[in-house]
Amino acid sequence: MRHITSTDPWHVRLREALFGWVLDSRGLGRDAWVLFALTGWALAMPHYGSDFAVSLTLTCLMYVALATSWTLFCGSTRYLSLATSAFFGIGAYTGALLIDQFTWASVIGLGAAVAALVAVVMGSAVLHLRGTYFAVLTFGMTELIRHAVTYWEKQVTGTVGRVLTETPERDTVYLTVLGLAVLAVAVSMIVRRTRFGLALAGIGADEQRAMTLGVNTRLVKIAGFALTAAFAGAVGAAMSVRWTYIDPATVFNPFIGFQTVLIALIGGIATLWGPLIAAIVFSVLAETLRLQAPQAYLMALGLLLILCVLYLPGGLASLRWASFIAWRDDVRGWWREREAKAKRAARREREARYGVGS
Amino acid sequence: MNGHPLLEARHVTVRFDGLVAVDAVSAAFAAGELVGIIGPNGAGKTTFFNALSGVQPPTSGELYAMGQRLTGSKPHKYAGLGIARTFQTPRVFGALSVAANVDFGLQFAGRHRAGAWLLKDEDSILHVVGLAGQRDLPAAAITPSQQRQLEIGMALATRPKLLLLDEVAAGLTEAEVDSMAQLIRRLRDELDLTVIWIEHAVTTLLKYVERVIVLHQGRKIADGLPAEVVRNAEVIEAYLGDEMVEMA
C-alpha cells in the first residue's frame, strides 16, 4: 500500500480519490463486462420471450439477487444464516401495506430499510454465536417473526393475509427484480475488493485474529448482515405483488431461505458467479420439473447438493476442465485397483488349490 | 505519554471455572522497555498475554494503556491503541499470500498511523522479518518457523507501540534464536517499541531482556533485572534449578 501525498501529480491524486478504496482491481473489468452482457440479455428477454420464459427468468433473477447477497455476507464470513425468508417476508409485508400510499420505488426502498433494521436488531442479538447455534437461532427467529405476524393479523387487524388490489405491470416487477439482481452482483463484485470485504474475509478465516489486527468485527458483521437483509427485503417487496394475495405462510415460507442457502452452496459460497450459475440451473430445474414431477425436482436438487459437497466443495463455479480430468483419473485409478485386486485374489486361489509355485 | 506507563495491569485475575490461571498479577511497562516473561508450563504466561491484548477479558482487575482504561474492551481497541501481539501457534490467514497477510494489518489497525520507514509498506515489513523471498506464497505453504516470522510481520503491520511476542523463538536452532533476538532488539531500538517477550528457552531470554517477570501458578513471584531474578530463592525453587544460579 502506497501513501499518496500532495506532491504527487494531479492524475495520481484524482485516481486515488476516485478508486483508492479498491484494493485490488484485477479481474474487475472482466467481471463488469460479463455482468453488462448478462444484463443486456435479461433486458431484451421480455420483448421476445414467451410468458413462461419471462416467468422463469423472473424466478431466476429473484434467486440470483437472494443467493448473491447471501453469499456476500454469509459466504465470506461463514455465518450460515437461515433468516433469508424472514427478511423476504418482512419486505413483502412492508410492500403490501404501503403500496397504496407510496410510489413503487419508495415501496422497494422501505422494504429494504425495514428488513435491514430488523437485521441490525437480530444481528446484535445473535452474531456473537457461531456455527450451528447461529444457524438454528436465525431459523428460530424467522419462525418467531412469522408467527408474530400471523398473531398480529388474527388478533389485531382480524385478517388472514392481504389482497393486493393495485399491482404494477409485469414488466415493472421484472425490471425491478432485474435491477436488484444486477445491483447484488455489482455490490458483491465491489465489496470483495474493499476493506469491508477484506474484513469479512478475515472474519471468515479467523475472527479473533482479525480483531487483534484492528477489525471491529461486531460492527462489520452487523453491517454485512444488514446489507444482505436489505436485498432480501427489497426482493420480497418487489415479488409480493406477483401473488396478489399474500399471507404469512407464503411469504415467510422457510423454503425460500433453504433454497437460497442450497443455491449458494451448490454454486460455491466463496465465489462471485457461483450463486448466479446455480440460480440459473436451479430455476430451470424448478420451472420445468416442478409441475410435471415435483418429487423428481426435489430429488434432483438433493442429488446435486450431495454431489457438490462430495466432489466439488468449491461449488459449480470452481468447475474447470481439470476437474473432469481429475475425476476421470480417479475413476480410472479405482478401476485399475479393482482389477489388480481381482487378479491377486485369483492368484491366491490358484496357489491355495495347486500349491505355491506351481 | 504524560507520565503514564504504556501498559499497566492492576491485580489482573483470569479464572476458568475452578482454575485460577492468572492470580492478581500487577505489572507496568514503560515506553522502550524490553521485558521477558518466564515461568514453567501452565504458569499462566499466555493467559496473561491474552488479558493484555484483550483476547481474554480478565475476571477481575484493571488494564490501562497510556492512562486510558481498557478493561473489557475488544481486541480491536487494543490494536487501535498500538498494542500488537503474536500467537504461540501461528494464526496466519492460510489462504492469503504472505504479503496479503501483512497488508491486512496495514489496512486496519495500522492504517491511520504514520509508519516508520521500516514499516512503510508490506514489502519493507517482509524485508525486516526476513520473508521477502516468500512474498507471494500462500501463508499455509511456508514452514512453521517462517509462519512465526510472519506473525511478527502481521503484528508490525499494525504499526504498534507495544509488541507482545508469545514464544516466537520456539523450535528454532541456537543460531536462529540469536538472530531472532537481534531482530527484536533492533525493532525496539529503531522503532522505539516496547517489547514484552514470553519464551520457554529461559537462558536465551535472560541474555537479551532488561527486565524479567516470573510467573508461577498464575502468580507473579519476581520482577526485576535478570541477574537479580536468577538469585531469587523463590524463583530457583519454583522453576530455575541450580544450573541457572551457576550460569548467573
> B29 forms bridges with which residues in the sheet?
B7
Domain-by-domain residue ranges, chain B?
1-82+161-248, 90-159
- Chain B residues with CB under 8 Å of A206 CB are 91, 93
Is A213–B157 a contact, with Cβ atoms under 8 angstroms apart?
yes
- Give the distance from residue B225's alpha carbon to the nearest chain A alpha carbon, in angstroms: 30
Is A1–B87 a contact, with Cβ atoms under 8 angstroms apart?
no
- Quick one: pLDDT at residue B64? 94
- Chain A residues with CB under 8 Å of B95 CB are 205
Is A213–B121 a contact, with Cβ atoms under 8 angstroms apart?
no
Instruction: Please tell me which of the candidates B109, B121, B158 has its beta carbon nearest to residue A1.
Output: B121
- Quick one: pLDDT at residue A1? 44
Q: Is A159 on the interface with B (CB under 8 A)?
A: no
Cell of B2: 504524560
- Chain A residues with CB under 8 Å of B121 CB are 1-2
Nearest to B6 by CA among B31, B32, B37, B35: B31
- Quick one: pLDDT at residue A4? 61
- Give the distance from residue B49's alpha carbon to the nearest chain A alpha carbon, in angstroms: 12
Q: Let me know: does A260 contact A301? Beta carbons within 8 Å.
A: no
Nearest to A280 by CA among A103, A65, A61: A61
The CATH class of B1-82+161-248 is alpha beta
- Chain A residues with CB under 8 Å of B159 CB are none
Domain-by-domain residue ranges, chain A?
23-319, 321-358
Instruction: Please tell me which of the candidates A198, A206, A213 has its beta carbon nearest to residue B158.
Output: A213
Instruction: Please tell me which of the candidates A195, A208, A209 has its beta carbon nearest to residue B107.
Output: A195
Cell of B210: 532488561
**Backbone dihedral region for residue B217 (phi beyond 0: left; psi -120 to 50: alpha; all else: beta):** left
- Quick one: pLDDT at residue A113? 97
List chain B pLDDT tens, one digit each, 248 residues. Answer: 457 899 999 999 999 988 999 999 999 999 999 999 998 888 899 999 999 999 999 999 999 999 899 998 999 999 999 999 999 999 999 999 999 999 999 999 988 887 778 888 899 999 999 999 999 999 999 998 899 999 999 999 999 999 999 999 888 888 888 889 999 999 999 988 999 999 877 887 888 899 999 999 999 999 999 989 888 888 888 776 555 544 54
Count contacts between A and B (CB, < 8 Å).
Answer: 67
CA separation for the pair A192, A199 (Å, rounded): 9
- Give the distance from residue B23's alpha carbon to the nearest chain A alpha carbon, in angstroms: 24
- Quick one: pLDDT at residue B205? 86
ipTM, 2 dp? 0.91
- Give the distance from residue A210's alpha carbon to the nearest chain B alpha carbon, in angstroms: 8
Q: Classify residue A358 by burial, with Cβ atoms within 10 Å: 0-12, 13-18, 19+.
A: exposed
CA separation for the pair A179, A176 (Å, rounded): 5
Looking only at the bridges linking them, the beta strands covering B60-65 and B7-16 are antiparallel
Q: Count the Cβ atoms, other than its own, within 10 Å of residue A202.
A: 25
- Quick one: pLDDT at residue B1? 44
For A302-311, letters b (16+ CB in 10 Å) and e give: eebeeebeee
- Chain B residues with CB under 8 Å of A213 CB are 79, 104-105, 108-109, 154, 157-158
Whole-structure pTM value: 0.88
Main-chain phi, psi angles of B42, to 5 degrees: 75, 15
Assigned architecture for domain A23-319: Orthogonal Bundle (1.10)
Please list the ranges in chain A whose pLDDT falls under 70: 1-6, 20, 356-358
